[in-house]
């Protein structure tokens, strides 16, 4: 073997070994691959659906062309058809995937198509109603924030509106028992905004989020009307020691109407209820129910203010 | 009617109904649409402006081609012209939008052009000065963080620098009374970094943000020189009950020179001042003014450490 | 000079002045530009590497085409070659950059190539092992979260998995002394997820992050096996007054095996150790070591619940 | 001056000299540049208009999504609006450009808008009629070519249909006195197909082109119904010595109904008429009128067939 | 009705009328639309198949990454799988389309899948053999053209090689009775090169095209080995009066081995045979058979050379 | 082996066989692959160079942004740098490729860099002069064509100008002995316009092409000033029997000043000279020299005009 050939042969060997080892690793860690499967929905297309729904719900804000009263019907019609078809495709994939996960046979795949079409159309039919609900959310966000210059600004660039919009879409699909898609959608909003709302949570009207980064709203939360929450608020589970054993149980708090929760407050537990019209102060830590019409802050929370000692280093 | 035709006719009806309902919903919720308007600035183009400004401010870091001393003038000249034109277009849109929002008549639209051109050129002229200010920010960030390997690393991948850069650009447009654009810019940075700085805030030189996610700096904050803040810090309003009634009032704290605020600290209120050279400890909750040259932590903050009880389940 | 010519001449002057001033500003602030340099790695390509590695590690999840047992070897082979070449290019840039930063002469550039190739191949060879470690992380994430429907959902849309995946890749390059790239990678994940893990941190197996936004894990953290942490947790330095003087010292806590840390807890200091099997409660602030097998919460942390006073305004 | 600096200074000088020389050359050759002008239409957008018109005229052939009877109205409506707006923009640019070329003052620019809008709407209104005419062209193409498998194949991939379609669109704009755009359109088709039809030519119904490459149809041609021509046919001017002096005169032949012209035939001259139902043979060269109902070939056109001589070389 | 509303109402009416008329026109001209159909193959994807086949046949010429002996198997494997899947999809569409055109019922659609898969695999299996044939074409092109610098130049930029490559691919699919696709492919090459070879033509080995523009080779041509043809050559039908009645009959000439045909020659008719080793001169017009081993030129073809008369005009 | 596994195993086998056969075919046909080579220039980038040169030569015609006198220097500077770098890269590749083809050793690769840089700079320096020459071509094209509305139209959409522009660029590189690139450039123009000018041809000033499709101008053509040629004209070699043996000899005609050649004329042979101010008629076939100041047409070229016989079929 000449010297010239040797390194190439070595590189070829290196490559072949690595390919073989990786493919072997795919076979041994079956939870880490999705080979031979046709059912997984497509994350990128699911995000595209959300972006098209955003244009349908807020016409004229995110479009590249100008929409006028004269042409809006054509625009909406075309967009609806595209969104409907994209959504049907992904709902169908998700339904087949769900069936497969539950170990059901392939024979009922025709049924998948029907169920997916029903879910898709039921969702689409809800859009006008969802717009009404979102209009209230936008109004509440504007009314509650002196820094907001107009509802246009809210729609255009408030992460709170972005997260609520995506949650309301995803929650509707969640109620229609569509697997995976709702979570992909809310995690997309989580990525964009830092606001993590589980699609299973129940949230009333005129919901308002300010700043938002670091908010967590768990799967079994139940939130009333006119609720306002700030950045860093957690509405979470008390403990997750049980892991999957807790599945399906109520693990997250109930927040009644007209409650305000300031930044960094942590409210935990499935039997915790924050009563109507109560205000939770910033950074409060709560694992018990709170009566209505109260304000809550930390007791004994005094500041320790000391003069600075002379720093030696630096 | 044959069986074959029926489903199609149904689908057509479904589509027509939905289009009609959505269009009707657009008409009834006028705050949720922007039909027939020509004035809304374009979010995507505004983001493009920020990206081009980033290349102008940090030449050689984010360019795809190699920039050398020989060609830098041409590169900068071309980039400046493009940025200027893009910015003028969006500032003009924003100015017209603002005029329209204030109910002023269209007749003064020529004036819009002049005002927009003046604002654009005033902004562009500030760029060399803004670079100087940012150079101080970068230096302060490097000096204050032992984990940072070089100022290149800071510029290249620190979300703090990204957020401060965007704030400094947006603040300049804010001072020039350009509507909407500054907020679109800072919310873009908020999305990318989790750091939410209102473009109206006033921030001194050598500002340093570490880690950053979850930081909120409100509209009427006033921050001195050499201030350093960590992730999760809120410089917010004490209460927002008043909502839009509070508009224009000072609602956020004043932070004097040389203050350091550790992670998770919450400082609220328009009459709250943190005195010069004071250090605020992590997770401290403050709604009152703090004297200079002190360190602040929570009093009575003892840990309750208990041996674990035998867990029965799991 | 005619009136027509005047404004144009002015605009030309404006442009020339601005270009001259900006170029002058580049020369005076040398830390803010990278002109005449060939060594800086490319941020966009580094992100592309991470995305390709994601496809190699989780085949079938993020691909646009269907991967089957029949074609997986070709797919992996092709992807490996592309990833290898892209990575080598960026590692080489980074190595040259590092050499340049250390003031070493150009003469040893050949050595750069060899070192870069060795690092690239060493990294690639680790991929099957890294997949095993990540499979444990995925499994732990699923087991610990009742809201998670399947490991597919975890891989598909959990920011925790995204951040851990990126950290594990970046940490491997960090151990191989590749400059800049590891930090670009983890800051990319930080941007996407709000989870900030320094590539220098040491993290054991079966690591689980829930929700995640606002988590900070510092450079010299040392985390054991089976550790679970929630949103907003900081594992940070006690003080960074020393700035660059602290470089290389242990500044961040040690977390032993089987520890759980709930949301918003802040644990600081290089000599702080959280003992084995201990549970840290939400929002706890710790700057001291904690024994094994304990649960920690804040003492004296009572709520102050007051009935609401009649609000006058609003 | 050190050796290191010299080449760079040289390169800088080289660059500056070249930029200065090129800019000087722009100033001296004013016909070769379009600086300071706002009026030139955009070639790329004009091509985009043609592509959208193709989708409007042949729905379902070139669309990426599936068009059905249910959604076709929305699709057409949306596409019409987009095409209308794009076309108006380019027609307006072209109208202003034409006005400027004719040396007319800017004051009448408002009139430009009106004229452009009228032309655009007049064009759009013609579309259904143009579809009828094109349907006849397609049918004639199919009927006349045994190699064509279906009218679908003709529409899908016959360069003849492509060129006729583009001509018919461009001719309509030509009749509306829109400058530049019609020629940009037909030259685009010329590029794609090798068929060069001047938009000013007059062409009757059921026009059929076979193969097509190399066909030239001049500006003042007048072609009747049911005419069929083959590749390489020229319908041109007898001499162009006069150049621009000939502008506006009839320089190209008249072809009456039911004429067939075989491949490579050249027919020249503004007073040349090919009478009704006549057939022109391949490669015939004609500069005179030809009576109706005749067949024309070259006289004295015998082949000289010689046995091959022994070749010495090769 | 106010003046302000009137134009808008008019525009709306204009739009609605036009949409209605166009949709009506779709319904009346059924040959001009493809609504409600799922079967039409996709032109863009068919072109993509040709481009991928080009990379498979000429590895290393048109790839963006570097292909080496070490990685070529992975590269080819991945590309083969992608090409196979794309081709199967389009062949399937084309097969269904063909079945539909023939009026066959949908019930046999399963059969479509099988037939499409067989055709796809039969085609793919032919690729190594097709490469051999193309290698001969490339060699013949190089040998015959003193202006060609290397076979690399031939492969890289000779339109003749481009057209022959595409013909050879399309002809193989034609032999497998795949509808539409072969013609889409050769018309794509026709667009690119001006060389129009019908996929049904039969062409022997070592085929060489020089310059090429304007060449037409008809459906029933039969061309032997070692044939060379120049730009503007037509191998066509004598008359197409019969139109579709001629379908399936031999309408184009037979060219035997070792024939050379110079530029602009026109050879017509299904019973015309050019005998072995004969040379046809430029611009010769032939409608009869020619014996072997002869050279053919036009007889009586003398030039008329006249001194120029004094030009008066110009 | 179960039935389920069988088809998959078969498909895997099919794939593996095909990959193996194709790779084997790569090894046996070495002229048909470019594996393991680093030297081949990139066709796509070469086309990009031509497009950038077009923008440099005709500023304001093909740019997406508006170029004004104020910013033209920056624009040109930036574009020049990009074009220079792209061109250097491809010239360097081509030089290395050429060296490799000539069997020269790798040791001289440094020399390649110098030679490539010299060629690149020599080319760039020629741009202002090439603009002057092209300005004459544009003017001649406008003057000679009554159908041309303005020089803008010529530049914007005349394939003749496109082909001449590309030829003039390519010819300059040809004179600098750059391999491959010139031919890639002219074949790109050939594709776009159907005009095939070999980069080695010599062409004087004020060259004018009308319509253009099907024009062939061979490698050793020598064309004077003020020459005008029409579509389908061939300036070719008399015979190419000798193939590669003819390399480097004069094989194509000489065309003296002020000659006009009408459509379809074929002029062949290296010793053929068309004398000054002569006019060659359409479709004339010439293989001998022609004196100056004459007009040439075919003698004995009478038309045979016969009344049509009654057609029976059709």
Please report the pLDDT score of residue D107 as a whole number: 53
Does the CB of A311 have a partner CB in chain B at under 8 Å? no
Q: Is the pLDDT of residue F34 over 70?
A: yes
Contact check, Cβ <8 Å, F131/D295: no
Whole-angstrom distance, CA of residue E27 vs CA of residue E33: 8
Tokens standing for residue A192? 């964009």
Does the CB of A12 have a partner CB in chain E at under 8 Å? yes
HEC string for D233-299: CEEECCCCCCHHHHCCCCCCCEECCCCEECCCCEEECCCCEECCCCEECCCCEECCCECCCEEEEEC
* E-contacting chains (≥3 CB pairs under 8 Å): A, C, D, F
Contact E219, E251 (CB under 8 A): yes
Q: Is the pLDDT of residue C50 over 70?
A: yes
The residues, any chain, with a CB within 8 Å of residue A191's CB and separated by 6 or more, are: C159, C192, C193
* F-contacting chains (≥3 CB pairs under 8 Å): B, C, D, E
Whole-angstrom distance, CA of residue C15 vs CA of residue A264: 48
Q: Is the pLDDT of residue F312 over 80?
A: no
Does the CB of B242 have a partner CB in chain C at under 8 Å? yes
Compute, in degrees rounded to 10, the torsion defined by CA atoms E96, E98, E100, E106: -40
Please report the pLDDT score of residue A14 as a whole number: 84
Please report the pLDDT score of residue F70 as a whole number: 81
Whole-angstrom distance, CA of residue A235 vs CA of residue C263: 11
Contact check, Cβ <8 Å, A70/E19: no
Structure confidence by residue, pLDDT tens digits, E119-158: 999 999 999 999 999 999 999 999 988 888 899 999 989 9
Structure confidence by residue, pLDDT tens digits, A150-169: 999 999 899 999 999 999 99
Contact check, Cβ <8 Å, F240/E145: yes
Task: Grade residue D306 by pLDDT with cuts at 50, 70 and 90.
Answer: very high
Mean pLDDT by runs of 10 across the 314 residues of chain B is 51 86 84 76 95 94 82 91 94 89 66 89 95 95 90 93 98 96 97 97 97 96 97 90 80 97 95 96 94 91 82 47
Look-up of token digits 């050689």: B60
Which member of C66, C78, C85 has the closest CB to residue E78? Answer: C78
Q: What percent of chain C has pLDDT over 90?
A: 66
Which member of C24, C234, C294 has the closest CB to residue B231? Answer: C234
Chain D: closest CA distance from residue A65 (Å): 8
Q: What are phi and psi of B174, to 5 degrees?
A: -60, -45
What is the arithmetic mean of pLDDT over C155-169? 96
Does the CB of E212 have a partner CB in chain D at under 8 Å? no
Global pTM?
0.92
What is the arithmetic mean of pLDDT over E255-264? 96
Query: To the nearest whole number, what is the mean pLDDT of chain D?
Result: 89
Q: What are phi and psi of B32, to 5 degrees?
A: -100, 5
**Residues 53-92, chain A, touching D (beta carbon < 8 A):** 65-66, 71, 73-82, 85
Task: Grade residue E1 by pLDDT with cuts at 50, 70 and 90.
Answer: very low
User: Mind listing the domains of chain F with CATH numbers?
Assistant: 37-195 (1.10.3130.10), 201-242+249-298 (2.160.10.10)
What is the arithmetic mean of pLDDT over C283-304? 90
Whole-angstrom distance, CA of residue F109 vs CA of residue F92: 10
Structure confidence by residue, pLDDT tens digits, A193-214: 999 999 999 999 999 999 999 9
Task: Grade residue A49 by pLDDT with cuts at 50, 70 and 90.
Answer: very high
What is the arithmetic mean of pLDDT over F234-253? 85
Q: What are phi and psi of F177, to 5 degrees?
A: 60, 30
- DSSP for C117-151? HHHHHHHHHTHHHHHHHHHHHHHHHHHH-TT---H
Please report the pLDDT score of residue C105 as a whole number: 60
Contact check, Cβ <8 Å, E78/C71: yes
Whole-angstrom distance, CA of residue C18 vs CA of residue B127: 8
Structure confidence by residue, pLDDT tens digits, A14-26: 888 888 988 888 8
Contact check, Cβ <8 Å, D85/A75: no
Contact check, Cβ <8 Å, A71/E8: no
Whole-Å CA distances, B222 to A211, B10, B255, C58, F260: 18, 62, 6, 48, 80
Tokens standing for residue D73? 């109205």
- DSSP for C43-98? HHHHHHHHHHHHHHHSTTTS-SSPP-TTTHHHHHHHHHHHHHHHHHHHHHHHHHHH
Burial of E222 (0-12, 13-18, 19+ CB in 10 A): middle
Contact A58, B32 (CB under 8 A): yes
Contact check, Cβ <8 Å, E85/C65: yes
Pick the residue with more confidence: F127 or B299?
F127
Structure confidence by residue, pLDDT tens digits, A69-103: 888 899 999 999 999 999 999 999 999 888 888 77
D58: left (phi over 0), alpha (psi -120 to 50) or beta: beta
This model of the complex carries an ipTM of 0.91
Chain B: closest CA distance from residue A22 (Å): 31
Q: Is the pLDDT of residue A52 over 60?
A: yes
Chain F: closest CA distance from residue E28 (Å): 27
Nearest-Cα residue of chain D relative to residue B70: D12
What is the arithmetic mean of pLDDT over E193-214? 97
Does the CB of F248 have a partner CB in chain D at under 8 Å? no
Contact check, Cβ <8 Å, F156/D180: yes
Structure confidence by residue, pLDDT tens digits, C116-126: 999 999 999 99
Compute, in degrees rounded to 10, the torsion defined by CA atoms E21, E25, E26, E31: -170
Q: What are phi and psi of D306, to 5 degrees?
A: -120, 145
Task: Grade residue C63 by pLDDT with cuts at 50, 70 and 90.
Answer: confident
Please report the pLDDT score of residue A67 as a whole number: 82
Q: Is the pLDDT of residue D187 over 50?
A: yes
Whole-angstrom distance, CA of residue C154 vs CA of residue A31: 11
- DSSP for C230-263? ETT-EEE-S--TTGGGGTTS--S-EE-TT-EE-T
Please report the pLDDT score of residue E5 as a whole number: 44
Residue E291's nearest CA partner among E272, E269, E268, E264 is E272
Beta-carbon-side half-sphere exposure of residue A210 (alpha carbons within 13 Å): 30
Whole-angstrom distance, CA of residue C170 vs CA of residue C185: 6
Contact check, Cβ <8 Å, F12/C69: yes
**Helices then strands (H, E): number in chain B?**
8, 15
Structure confidence by residue, pLDDT tens digits, E23-70: 888 888 777 788 776 678 999 999 999 999 999 999 989 887 778 888
Whole-angstrom distance, CA of residue E20 vs CA of residue A12: 64
DSSP letter (8 states) at residue A67:
P
Query: To the nearest whole number, what is the mean pLDDT of chain C?
Result: 89
Own/partner contacts of C16-22, CB < 8 Å, gap of 24 or more, are: C18/B80, C18/B124, C18/B125, C18/B127, C18/B128, C19/B73, C19/B76, C19/B77, C19/B80, C19/F74, C21/B127, C21/B128, C22/B56, C22/B76, C22/B80, C22/B127, C22/B128, C22/B131
* C-contacting chains (≥3 CB pairs under 8 Å): A, B, E, F
| Of the listed ranges C294-308, D99-113, F63-77, F82-96, the one predicted with least confidence | D99-113
Which member of F8, F19, F70 has the closest CB to residue C12? Answer: F70
Q: Is the pLDDT of residue C157 over 80?
A: yes
Size of interface C-F (CB pairs under 8 A): 20
Please report the pLDDT score of residue B311 as a whole number: 53
Task: Grade residue D5 by pLDDT with cuts at 50, 70 and 90.
Answer: very low
Task: Grade residue F140 by pLDDT with cuts at 50, 70 and 90.
Answer: very high
């Amino acid at each position: 073997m000449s010297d010239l050939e040797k390194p190439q042969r070595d590189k070829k060997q290196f490559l072949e070994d690595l390919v073989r080892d990786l493919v072997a690793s795919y076979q041994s860690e079956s939870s880490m691959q999705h080979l031979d499967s046709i059912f997984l929905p497509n994350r990128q297309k699911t995000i595209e659906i959300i972006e098209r729904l955003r244009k349908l719900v807020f016409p004229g804000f995110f479009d590249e062309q100008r929409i006028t009263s004269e042409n809006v019907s054509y625009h909406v019609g075309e967009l609806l058809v595209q969104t409907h078809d994209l959504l049907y495709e992904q709902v169908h994939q998700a339904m087949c995937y769900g069936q497969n996960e539950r170990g059901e046979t392939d024979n009922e795949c025709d049924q998948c198509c029907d169920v997916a079409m029903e879910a898709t159309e039921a969702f689409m039919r809800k859009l006008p109603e969802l717009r009404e609900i979102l209009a209230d959310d936008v109004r509440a966000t504007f009314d509650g924030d002196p820094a907001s210059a107009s509802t246009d600004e809210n729609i255009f660039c408030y992460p709170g509106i972005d997260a609520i919009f995506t949650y309301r879409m995803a929650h509707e699909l969640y109620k229609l028992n569509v697997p995976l898609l709702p979570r992909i959608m809310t995690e997309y909003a989580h990525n964009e905004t830092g606001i993590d709302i589980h699609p299973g949570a129940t949230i009333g009207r005129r919901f308002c989020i300010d700043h938002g980064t670091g908010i967590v709203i768990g799967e079994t939360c139940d939130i009333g009307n006119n609720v306002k929450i700030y950045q860093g608020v957690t509405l979470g589970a008390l403990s997750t020691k049980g892991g999957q054993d807790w599945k399906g149980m109520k693990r997250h708090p109930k927040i009644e109407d007209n409650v305000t929760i300031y930044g960094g407050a942590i409210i935990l537990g499935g039997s915790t209820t924050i009563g109507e019209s109560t205000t939770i102060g910033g950074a409060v830590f709560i694992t018990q129910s709170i009566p209505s019409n109260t304000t809550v802050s930390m007791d004994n929370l005094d500041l320790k203010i000391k003069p600075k000692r002379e720093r030696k280093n630096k």
